[in-house]
Each structure stands twice: as structure tokens, then as C-alpha cells.
């Protein structure tokens, strides 16, 4: 291979740390309007899970999230009823969520 045959790849731009990875999916439309498309269960699950992981008052790693037809089911073990309440609030705030079932969340016994 001769030097003339080699091409230099374009420079890589640094990632802007100010970018919000949890921004609303509609933000990408760029026209200031929201989408009328139905929200996908996979998107809801991902959004709920990422929101739980971003919340310092809840151990998002200990909560399993499943969604079926907009109904979110939370399962796992948390440290307090306050964490159950916070997880419920977070899930309810996600676009497309029609119901939140927390019957699978248990509060760990105090030691």
C-alpha cells in the first residue's frame, strides 16, 4: 500500500458532557412539537430503568422493570417504603405509562 492509497479518518469530536442522555425522546424532533406516535413498551421500560438509576434515593440496580401495553411492573427488594413510593412516582411520570404495579417490590427487613 502506498502513502497515496491511505486516507486519514476524519477527526473525532469530543462528547459534550452537558448533553442529557435522559432527555425526552420527543426532543429529537427539532420542530418544537411532540410526536403523536404511541410510546413503545421497550422505550417505556428503558426510560423507567434509566430514571430509577439516575435517582439517588432509590437503588435502581435492585429493581427489575417490565412493561406490557403501557403497564409497568416493578420487582425487587428496596430498603424502605419511601423507596417504593419514589420508584412508583418515577414510573408514573414516564410518558406512555398507564399503570404501575409495585406488588413485586418488597421492603428489606431491618437488621
Say if residues 89 and 51 touch (Cβ distance below 8 Å): no
**Which structural domains are found in the chain, ordered by start?**
39-107 (3.30.1340.30)
- Mind listing the pLDDT tens digit for each residue in 14-46? 665 555 444 444 444 444 445 555 679 999 999
Counted residue by residue, the chain has a size of 111
Specify the pLDDT at position 21: 47
Say if residues 74 and 100 touch (Cβ distance below 8 Å): yes
Grid cell 435522559 — which residue?
22
Specify the pLDDT at position 27: 46
Amino acid at each position: 500500500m502506498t502513502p497515496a492509497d491511505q486516507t486519514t479518518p476524519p477527526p473525532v469530536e469530543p462528547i459534550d458532557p452537558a448533553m442529557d442522555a435522559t432527555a425526552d425522546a420527543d426532543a429529537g424532533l427539532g420542530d418544537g412539537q411532540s410526536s403523536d406516535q404511541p410510546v413503545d413498551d421497550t422505550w417505556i421500560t428503558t426510560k423507567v430503568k434509566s430514571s430509577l438509576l439516575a435517582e439517588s434515593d432509590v437503588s435502581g440496580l435492585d429493581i427489575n422493570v417490565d412493561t406490557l401495553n403501557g403497564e409497568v411492573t416493578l420487582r425487587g427488594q428496596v430498603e424502605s417504603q419511601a423507596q417504593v413510593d419514589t420508584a412508583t412516582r418515577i414510573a408514573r411520570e414516564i410518558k406512555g405509562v398507564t399503570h404501575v404495579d409495585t406488588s413485586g417490590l418488597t421492603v428489606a427487613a431491618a437488621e
